[in-house]
Amino acid sequence: MYARPWARTAGAFALALAVLVAASGTVGNSAPAPQPRRGGSLNFIVSAEPPSFDGHRETTFAVIHPIRPHYNLLVKFDPFNYPKVVPDLAESWTVSEDGLTYTFRIRSGVRFHDGSLLTSRDVKASLDKIIFPPQGVVSARQAMYEMVESVSAPSPNTVVIRLKWPSATFLEKLASPFNWIYKADILERDPRWYERNVMGTGPFRFKEYVRGSHWEGVRFENYWKPGRPYLDGYRALFISSPAAQTAAIKFGQALVEFRGFAPAQRDEVVQFLGDRVTVQESGWLCNLLVVPNNQRKPFDDFRVRRALTLAIDRWGGSRALSQITFMGPVGGVMRPGGPFATPEAELTKLAGFGRDMEAARQEARRLLREAGVPEGFEFTVKNRNVPMPYIPGGVFLVDQWRQIGLNARHVIQETGPYLADLRAGNFDVGVDFTCDFFDDPDVQLAKFVSSDRSPLNYARYTDRLLDGLYRQQSRERNLQRRLQVVRQFERRVLSDRAYQFHLLWWQRIVPHWKRLQGYKVSPSHYLEDLEEVWLSE
Amino acid sequence: MLRYVLARLVLVVPTLWAVATLIFLLVRVIPGDIVELRLVSGGSYVTPEVIQQERGRLGLDKPLWAQYADWIVGLARLDLGTSMWTGAPVSKEIALRLELSLQLAVMATVVAVSLALPLGVWAAVRRGTWADHLVQVFSVAGLATPSFWLGILLLLFLLYAFRWLPPMTFTPLWVNPVANLSQLVWPALAVGYRYSAVATRMTRSAMLEVLREDYVRTAWAKGLAERAVVLRHALRNALLPVVTVIGLEFAFLIGGLVVTEQVFNLNGIGKLFVDAISRRDYTLIQGLMLLVASAYVLVNVLLDLLYARLDPRIRYA
Amino acid sequence: MWVALSRPRPRGRLSRFARRYPVAVAAAAFLALLGVAALFAPWIAPYDPLANDYLSMFSPPGPKHWLGTDSFGRDILSRLIFGSRTALLVGLSSSVIGATVGAVVGVASAYFGGTVDLVIQRVTDILVSFPLIVLAMAMVAILGSGTANLVAAIALSFAPRAELVVRSSALQVRHTTYVEAARAVGAGPWRIILRHMLPNVMAPYLVMLTAFLGQAILLEASLSFLGLGVAEPTPAWGLMLSGAAVDFVQKAPWMAVFPGLAITLTVLAFNVLGDALRDALDPKLRV
Q: Using DSSP, state whether A174 is helix, strand or coil.
A: helix
DSSP C186-230: T--HHHIIIIIIGGGGHHHHHHHHHHHHHHHHHHHHHHHHTTSSS
| Average pLDDT of adjacent 10-residue blocks, chain A of 537 residues | 39 37 40 80 92 87 94 94 92 93 95 95 95 84 88 95 90 94 95 92 94 92 92 93 88 92 89 92 94 94 95 93 91 92 93 93 95 93 87 93 93 82 90 90 90 86 93 86 94 94 95 93 92 90
Quick check: C232 and A267 CB within 8 A? no
Quick check: C268 and B29 CB within 8 A? no
The count of CB pairs under 8 A between chains A and B is 107
DSSP C108-166: HHHHH-HHHHHHHHHHHHHHTTS-HHHHHHHHHHHH-SSHHHHHHHHHHHHHHHHHHHH
Give the pLDDT confidence score for residue B316 in this predicted structure: 47
Residues on chain B touching A57 (C-beta within 8 angstroms):
39
Q: Which residues share a beta bridge with A218? A: A205, A233
Quick check: A138 and B33 CB within 8 A? no
What sign results for the dihedral spanned by CA atoms B143, B148, B154, B157? negative
Give the pLDDT confidence score for residue B214 in this predicted structure: 72
φ/ψ (deg, to 5) at A381: -110, 115
Distance from CA of B293 to the nearest CA of A (A): 23
Scored b (16 or more CB within 10 A) or e, A93-126 reads: beeeeeebebbbbbbeebebbeeeebbbbbbbbb
If 0-12 CB within 10 Å is exposed, 13-18 middle and 19+ buried, where does residue A476 land?
A: middle
Give the pLDDT confidence score for residue A256 in this predicted structure: 95
**Confidence band (pLDDT; 50, 70, 90) for B317?**
very low
Q: Which residue has the higher pLDDT, A205 or B194?
A: A205
Nearest to A420 among B32, B57, B277 (CB): B32
Averaged pLDDT of chain B: 84
Distance CA A512, CA A508 (A): 13
Region of residue A517 (phi > 0: left; psi between -120 and 50: alpha; otherwise: beta)? beta
Q: Choosing among A245, A321, A378, A399, which should be mutated to test the C contact, i.e. which has the most C CBs within 10 A?
A: A399
Quick check: C267 and B22 CB within 8 A? no
Q: Both ends of chain A: CA-CA distance in Å? A: 26
Distance from CA of B174 to the nearest CA of C (A): 29
Chains that touch B (3 or more CB pairs under 8 A): A, C
Distance CA A383, CA A390 (A): 7
Task: List helix spans (H) across B280-313.
Answer: 282-310
Contact C50, C240 (CB under 8 A): no
Nearest to B169 among A60, A213, A419 (CB): A213
Nearest to C263 among B149, B155, B285 (CB): B149
Give the pLDDT confidence score for residue C11 in this predicted structure: 57
Is C187 a domain residue? yes
Amino acid present at C279: D
Scored b (16 or more CB within 10 A) or e, A193-207 reads: bbbeebbbbbbbbbe
Q: What contacts 24+ positions apart, CB below 8 Å, involve B133-140?
A: B135/B200, B135/B204, B136/B201, B136/B204, B138/B197, B138/B200, B139/B196, B139/B197, B139/B200, B139/B201, B140/B197, B140/C268, B140/C271, B140/C272, B140/C275
Q: Which residues share a beta bridge with A75? A: A87
- pLDDT surpassing 60 at residue C100: yes
Question: What confidence tens digit (pLDDT) does each residue in B99-149 have?
Answer: 899 999 999 999 999 999 899 888 888 888 888 888 988 888 888 998 889
Q: Which residues share a beta bridge with A43? A: A235
Q: Rounded to the nearest 10 degrees, how much is the dihedral formed by the CA atoms of B71, B76, B77, B82? A: 20
Give the pLDDT confidence score for residue B42 in this predicted structure: 64
Contact A247/B at CB under 8 A: yes
DSSP A52-64: -S-TTT--SHHHH
Quick check: B293 and C126 CB within 8 A? yes
Q: Both ends of chain B: CA-CA distance in Å? A: 9
Q: List CB contacts of C232: < 8 A, sequence separation 6 or more.
A: A391, A394, A395, A410, A412, C239, C243
Quick check: C54 and A243 CB within 8 A? no
Residues on chain B touching A434 (C-beta within 8 angstroms):
43
| pLDDT, average across residues C80-94 | 92
Distance CA B299, CA A160 (A): 66
Contact B10/A at CB under 8 A: no
Distance CA A157, CA A363 (A): 63
Q: Using DSSP, state whether C57 is helix, strand or coil.
A: coil
Looking at residue C258, which CATH number applies to its domain? 1.10.3720.10
Q: Choosing among C56, C143, C250, C255, which should be mutated to test the A contact, i.e. which has the most A CBs within 10 A?
A: C250
**How many independent structural domains does chain C possess?**
1
Is C55 a domain residue? no
Q: Quick one: DSSP state of residue A3? A: -
Quick check: A395 and C233 CB within 8 A? yes
Is C26 a domain residue? no
Give the pLDDT confidence score for residue B28 in this predicted structure: 86
Closest residue of C to A388, CA-based?
C243
Distance CA C191, CA A327 (A): 62
Quick check: B44 and A59 CB within 8 A? yes
Other Cβ atoms less than 10 A from the Cβ of A225: the count is 16
Question: What confidence tens digit (pLDDT) does each residue in A301-314 have?
Answer: 999 999 999 999 99
Q: Using DSSP, state whether A208 is helix, strand or coil.
A: strand
Q: Which residue has the higher pLDDT, B5 or A384?
A: A384
Is the ipTM reported for this complex over the cut 0.90?
A: no
What sign results for the dihedral spanned by CA atoms A292, A294, A297, A298? positive
Give the pLDDT confidence score for residue A332 in this predicted structure: 93
Give the pLDDT confidence score for residue A413 in this predicted structure: 84
Give the pLDDT confidence score for residue A71 in this predicted structure: 96
Give the pLDDT confidence score for residue A24 in this predicted structure: 36
Q: Using DSSP, state whether A27 is helix, strand or coil.
A: coil
Is C56 a domain residue? no
Structural domain for C148, as ranges: 31-47+66-285
Give the pLDDT confidence score for residue B225 in this predicted structure: 67
**Confidence band (pLDDT; 50, 70, 90) for B227?**
low
Residues on chain A touching B54 (C-beta within 8 angstroms):
138
Distance CA C61, CA C68 (A): 4
Contact C150, C220 (CB under 8 A): yes
Q: List CB contacts of A238: < 8 A, sequence separation 6 or more.
A: A45, A46, A47, A48, A49, A212, A213, A214, A215, B267
- pLDDT surpassing 80 at residue C133: yes
Give the pLDDT confidence score for residue A489 in this predicted structure: 95
Chains that touch C (3 or more CB pairs under 8 A): A, B
Give the pLDDT confidence score for residue C165 in this predicted structure: 83
Portion 119-148 of B in contact with C at CB < 8 A: 140-141, 143-146, 148
